[in-house]
Amino acid sequence: MSAEDGNGTGSNVTGDRDTTRTARLLGVPLDLGANRRGVDMGPSAIRYANIAAELDAAGVGCVDDGDLEVPRLETSSPVPDVDDSEAASNAKYLDEIGGVTATLADAVATTIDNGATPLVLGGDHAVAMGSMFGAGRHTDDGIGVIWFDAHGDYNTPATSPSGNVHGMPLAAAHGRGSFADLDWADTDAVSEEHTVLVGIRSLDEEERTALRESEATVFTMREIDERGITAVVEDALEIATDGVDGIHVSLDLDWLDPTVVPGVGTPVRGGVDYREAHAALELVAERDREADILRSMGVVEVNPILDRDNQTAEVAAELAASAFGKRIL
């Protein structure tokens, strides 16, 4: 039976929730996927930016489940002990990240079973694998996903120019390349055709080809330039939610323009501005109020070392609150 039993309703057509939403914060201080220190401090920085108060203002209950324990970069080995596949060894720390993914997926699935909505605080974007696998676990055909990011994160171990796993989580969820053979990668959790990427402006060569050939919908910055953020996000919500049990919303802070969020490890010029980002996440909340679509959310890639005065963490906390229903009026 579906995980949403405890969540008031079980599908996106059931209408108004009969229960008040409770957000459960779970920090995942993972930086192995970025292969760079700093994002491990993301959960602390987002809490320091008062995410609990922001959620309170959104009218949702907030329980903080603390941080998941993750292996440290200094004491981890980038290549696997047993080199079972040449391609897999190009993905740095993949074994360790697989372990974190499996633990996180269990935690997320349990939280949803208990009737709450996981809000996962990264950590690098590799944490999205655990969130998606957990959120999609008890669904028949997988969940939809909206991926707000400058990047496609659609590399596989074989195609990644960097070997950094935070550039691969969406490809993992779609079971591409060697991810299909990894026992911790739940390739049924996410529905490929209900996956929508929004705000994309940086793709590697083979990643671009793979995305073009996939069933996912990609709205690049070009579409946002032309049609505006609200039209694009309304389309994204339509595609992601149509016929599935709910969606995971993944917010990589580098989705925004680097002038708004200096504290990210892989900034790309030309992102959405502060108001556009809020408009997008307010639309998510609006749809959620109508049709109970939000199964889980992740806020990732906040790097306090690179930030100024915790601005990026503050934006992360505010945007999460918008997604959970905080309104101006």
Ligand X SMILES: NC(=[NH2+])NCCC[C@H](N)C(=O)O
Just list the catalytic residues. Answer: 125, 149, 151, 153, 166, 252, 254, 301
Task: Give least dist CB 149 to Mn ion, A.
Answer: 4
Coil/strand/helix, residue 269: coil
In the complex with ligand X, the residue whose CB is nearer, 185 or 302, is: 302
Identify residues 230-269 at the interface with Mn ion (CB under 5 A).
Answer: 252, 254
In the complex with Mn ion, the residue whose CB is nearer, 3 or 203, is: 203
Task: Give least dist CB 199 to Mn ion, A.
Answer: 9
Size of the site for Mn ion (CB under 5 A): 7
- Other beta carbons within 10 Å of 62: 20
Q: What distances in angstroms separate CA 230 from CA 144, 210, 226, 320, one per listed residue?
A: 19, 27, 11, 17
Which of ligand X, Mn ion, none sits in contact with 89, Cβ below 5 to 8 A by type?
Answer: none
Q: Is 150 in the site for Mn ion (CB under 5 A)?
A: yes
CA–CA dist 179, 181 (Å, integer): 5
Please state the three-class secondary structure of 160-180 as a single string: CCCCCHHHCHHHHHCCCHHHH
* Chain positions contacting ligand X, by CB under 6 A: 125, 151, 153, 155, 160, 162, 164, 166-167, 204, 252, 254, 266, 301
Q: Which residues are annotated as a binding site?
A: 125, 149, 151, 153, 252, 254
In the complex with ligand X, the residue whose CB is nearer, 67 or 153, is: 153
Q: Which residues are annotated as a binding site for Mn(2+)?
A: 125, 149, 151, 153, 252, 254
Give yes or no for a contact between 120 and 248, defined as CB atoms under 8 angstroms apart: no
Buried b (16+ CB within 10 A) or exposed e, 168-179: bbbbbbbbbbbb
Please state the three-class secondary structure of 79-134 as a single string: CCCCCCCCCHHHCCCHHHHHHHHHHHHHHHHHHHHCCCEEEEEECCCCHHHHHHHH
Residue nearest ligand X (C-beta atom): 167
Task: Give least dist CB 12 to ligand X, A.
Answer: 27
Task: Give least dist CB 252 to Mn ion, A.
Answer: 4
Residues at the site binding Mn ion, with contacts judged by CB under 5 A = 125, 149-151, 153, 252, 254
